[in-house]
């Protein structure tokens, strides 16, 4: 009797077992997950709205459009000529401006050697022009044509411009080898010599002759070895010491000939 009674008292009564307390951490991950998803959705919508606003400002609004076109670097061409060649429509959104196409159009002007197109926010486009530099002049069809170092005619005038030597060749132009040789020699001369040239003549690409102020003739030959020929010509000027040297032949730098 005693043992049976003790056994019943020691065994747990299922009706008297306590229910487990709820774990507060068990529901936390689900709550945090929902909050994180809402944050992601909110940030995504915020980014989309910001991008839409920026796109509208850049492309759809009237805030950032071309309002002014500036031109710098012109001397031979006029600013109006450059603006017309650029073909930029006022009111075009700045970001839609095709600067490469504008540059190509400006560089078609014969006076222009190169151009750069700059956006100046909020509404200005600057066209920076580097013009061709005339180095010689030739007479044709009753006018004087100014040529740059590439043989390109950059301007023509009714009267002879001062300060440019005359070019004498059979067929002046950018594809004529005699023209290119003469202009290469002329462009490579230092100012102390180039400023004394009154005429450059080329019977062919290896037969360039310079006519200087004071009546001196310099037989240059081909355009190559310019540095050696310039040194020889400077030496002749120094050693002449007032003595008239009518002709200097430096076509072959190894053999200097003077008269």
Residue 41 DSSP SS3: helix
Q: What is the mean pLDDT of residues 117-131?
A: 96
Question: What pLDDT is stored for residue 68 in this prediction?
Answer: 96
Q: What is the mean pLDDT of residues 96-113?
A: 97
Q: What is the mean pLDDT of residues 229-249?
A: 86
Give me the residue label for tokens 């492309």: 59
Q: Please tell me the distance from the alpha carbon of residue 85 to that of residue 102, in angstroms, as a whole number.
A: 8
The predicted-structure confidence for 126-162, as pLDDT tens digits, reads as follows: 999 999 999 999 999 999 999 999 999 999 999 999 9
**Whether the domain at 68-131 and the domain at 136-258 fall into the same CATH topology:** no
Question: What pLDDT is stored for residue 2 in this prediction?
Answer: 44
pLDDT bucket at 106, cuts 50 / 70 / 90: very high
pTM: predicted TM-score of the whole model, two decimal places? 0.71
**Domain segments of the chain as ranges:** 68-131, 136-258
The predicted-structure confidence for 56-84, as pLDDT tens digits, reads as follows: 544 555 679 999 999 999 999 999 999 99
The predicted-structure confidence for 150-193, as pLDDT tens digits, reads as follows: 999 999 999 999 999 999 999 999 999 999 999 999 999 999 99
Residue 30 pLDDT exceeds 70: no
Partnered with residue 71 across adjacent β-strands are 127
Enter the DSSP assignment of 90. T
Residue of higher predicted confidence among 116 and 53: 116
Question: What pLDDT is stored for residue 244 in this prediction?
Answer: 79
Residue 4 pLDDT exceeds 50: no
Q: Please tell me the distance from the alpha carbon of residue 212 to that of residue 166, in angstroms, as a whole number.
A: 11
Percent of the residues in the chain that have a pLDDT greater than 70, as a whole number: 78
CATH of domain 136-258: 3.40.50.11690
CATH of domain 68-131: 3.10.20.310
Q: Secondary structure of the chain: what % helix, strand, coil (to 5)? A: 35, 25, 40
Question: What pLDDT is stored for residue 40 in this prediction?
Answer: 75
Question: What pLDDT is stored for residue 145 in this prediction?
Answer: 96
Question: What pLDDT is stored for residue 16 in this prediction?
Answer: 46
Per-chain mean pLDDT for the chain = 86
């Amino acid at each position: 009797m005693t043992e049976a009674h003790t056994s019943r008292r020691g065994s747990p009564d299922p009706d008297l077992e306590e229910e487990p307390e709820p774990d507060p951490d068990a529901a936390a991950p689900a709550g945090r997950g929902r909050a994180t998803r809402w944050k992601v959705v909110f940030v995504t919508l915020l980014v989309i709205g910001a991008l839409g606003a920026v796109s509208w400002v850049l492309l759809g609004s009237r805030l950032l459009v071309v309002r002014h076109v500036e031109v710098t670097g012109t001397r031979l061409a006029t600013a109006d000529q450059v603006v017309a060649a650029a073909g930029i429509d006022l009111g075009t959104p700045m970001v839609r401006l095709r600067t490469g196409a504008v540059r190509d159009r400006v560089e078609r002007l014969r006076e222009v050697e190169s151009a750069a197109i700059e956006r100046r926010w909020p509404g200005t486009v600057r066209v920076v022009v580097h013009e061709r530099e005339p180095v010689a002049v030739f007479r044709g069809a009753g006018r004087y044509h100014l040529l740059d170092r590439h043989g390109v005619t950059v301007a023509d005038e009714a009267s002879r411009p001062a300060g440019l030597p005359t070019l004498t060749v059979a067929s002046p132009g950018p594809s004529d080898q005699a023209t290119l040789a003469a202009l290469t020699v002329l462009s490579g001369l230092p100012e102390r010599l180039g400023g004394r040239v009154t005429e450059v003549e080329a019977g062919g690409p290896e037969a360039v002759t310079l006519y200087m102020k004071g009546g001196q003739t310099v037989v240059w030959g081909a355009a190559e070895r310019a540095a050696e020929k310039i040194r020889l010509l400077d030496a002749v000027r120094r050693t002449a010491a007032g003595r008239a040297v009518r002709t200097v032949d430096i076509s072959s730098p190894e053999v200097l000939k003077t008269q």
